[in-house]
Amino acid sequence: MGTELLLNRVKDRPPTAAEAAQLLRSLYQRGATLVGVEHDGRPCAFVVAFWDVDDQYAPNFLTGEQAECEWWQRDHVLTGLAIGATEPEASWEALACAKRGHLSRANVTVWYERPSPFNQMRGHFRFFPRSARIPANNFRPASSELTTDELKAILQRSA
């Protein structure tokens, strides 16, 4: 057990907001965020980055005038993902995955449903291949949602 801890050192606490922000700022000029969630009862963390500078604006689907997109409408590209035994492990591994830069080449986008009182202001997220957004459908990507098996295959190829 002691040898395992020495070989695979992970900080025993999650990254602070300042630590995560400093690393993400050094990697992504347009902005990024570290998200901690639970997946099948296990701690999971992922890093998403705002990718296209053009993606900040879109036509308003009611008036057709150009409007600035909200954060949940913009193109979020998955750049780091980890499932760990503990929350700190998952967070640090997701940041390390983003730093390696392999996953961003898989072109997976993370779509957030618009937060509302019905989903406790947290919003829900889903994974899609990168594609055009549908303004009339809450800026959902036009491609079909990735299944868990498809996402696992993409993660294995990018590792």
Report pLDDT digits (tens) over 36-85: 887 777 888 889 888 766 556 666 667 777 777 776 677 788 999 888 88
pLDDT at 122 over 70: no
pLDDT, position 136: 74
Strand, coil or helix: 4: helix
User: For residue 121, what are its two tokens?
Assistant: 């202001």
Give the domain extent around 93: 2-158
User: For residue 10, what are its two tokens?
Assistant: 């992970």
Number of domains in the chain: 1
- Enumerate the β-bridge partners of residue 81: 46
Q: What angle, rounded to 10 degrees, do the helices at 17-27 and 87-100 form?
A: 10
